[in-house]
Structure 1
Amino acid sequence: MNAPDRALLEAAARGDAGAVRAALDDGAAVDARDGHRRTPLLLAALADHTEAARVLVAAGADPDAQDDRLDSPWLVTGVTGSVAMMRLLLPAGPDPKVTNRFGGTALIPAAERGHTEYVRAVLRESDIDVDHVNQLGWTALLEAVILGDGGRDHEEVVELLVTAGADPELADRDGVTALAHAERRGFAGIAGLLGAVR
C-alpha cells in the first residue's frame, strides 16, 4: 500500500477531516482498502466520524463498498444507529437493497437494536424495503420482536415499522408471526400493537 492511501485510511479511522483532505490532495485513492478491504468511508462510518465522512463523500467515496465481512458504510449506519451518518451518506446514492453477511438491509439491525430515531429516519428518507427478508427468514419486524427486549424502544420500532406498512402476517421459517413471538415472550405492549393491525 502506498503512503497516501495508508495516511488516508489512518486519518479516516481517527476522524481527522483535515488529514483526510490532505491525503486526498496527496493522491490517495478515495476508496483505498485496508487488510480487511475496509475503505476510508467505512472506517469513518464505523466510528461515526461525520466530518471525515463528509470530506470523503464530497470526494466521491462509494457508500456501498463492502469489506471482507460484507459491511459497507451505508449498512453499518443501521448497526450504529447514526442518523447523522445516514443522512450524510444519502446524497452519495447508497443502494438500500445492498445486504450484509446475514442477508439483511440496514433497517434490520437497526430494528433489532431498538434504534428508534434511525428507523424513523431511514423509513422516511430512503426507499428501503420494510419487509425485506434476511437469510434467517426474518424481516425487521420479526427481528425487533425475536431479538429485542420488548421494552419501550422496541415497542416504538414495531409501531414505526407497522405504520410504514410492514406486514405483520409475514412469518418466520417455522410459520411463527411477530405477534405470536411477542405473545410467547410476554411482550404485552408489542402484542397489543400487532394485534390491533391484524
Structure 2
Amino acid sequence: MLNLAVGFLTNKALITQEAFYHSFSNQFEYTQIDEFYSFRQKSVWIFYILLPFILVFKIFLVSICLQTSLILNDFKLKFTSTFKIAITAEFVFLLPQLIKLAWFLLVKTEYTLTDVQHFYPLSALNLFKIENLSALLIYPFQTFNVFEVLYWIILAGGIKQALDTDINHGIRVVFSGYIPALVLWVICVMFITVSLSPAT
C-alpha cells in the first residue's frame, strides 16, 4: 500500500503537464503535448492496478531465490519466513522514491520526464554525466546503489535471525541466491536495451 501511495504522489506531483511541456516542446505542438498528457492521465490507472501484483511477484521471486540458496547451503526455512523477510527488506526501496519526490519538488524544480526517469539517489549513475553514457549502462548504474546494498543487508539479517545463526550464513545465502539472480536480471534488461536500440 505504501508503494502505491508513493507512486500516486509521484505521478501527481512530478509527472505534470509542465513536465510534459519541458520534455516535448522542441518536438511537438502544444496541442499534441496536451493530448499525450491527457492520454497518460486516463491510462495511469493501469499502473496503479498492476503495481501491487508486480510487487508481490517480485517478493515471490526473491523468496524463491533465497529458498534455493538455503537448500544449496544445507539450511531449512519455511517459505513463509523467507517471504516475510523479503517483504520487510522491500520497505528500504521507499526511501529513494521519497528522496526523488523531495528532490524534484524542492531542489530541481524545472525538469523533464527523462530527468525523473534517470534520477536515482546515491547510485553509481550519479558519478557520471548521463549524456556521456551509453543507454546500455544507465540501468546497471541505477541498480548499483546504497539502497540496494541496504536491501542485501536486511535480507542477510533476516535470514540470520530466522535461522538463529551467524550473520555470515545470512550473507552467504544472499550472495549465492539473490545476487546472481539480480545480475541475471540486469543482463536481461541490458539485452533488451540493445535489442531496442542497436546503436547504443
Report the TM range for the smaller structure's normalisation: under 0.3
Q: TM-score, normalised by structure 1?
A: 0.20
Bigger helix share:
2
Relative contact order, higher structure (CA 8 A, sep 6+): 2
Q: Which has the larger radius of gyration?
A: 2
Q: TM-score, normalised by structure 2?
A: 0.20
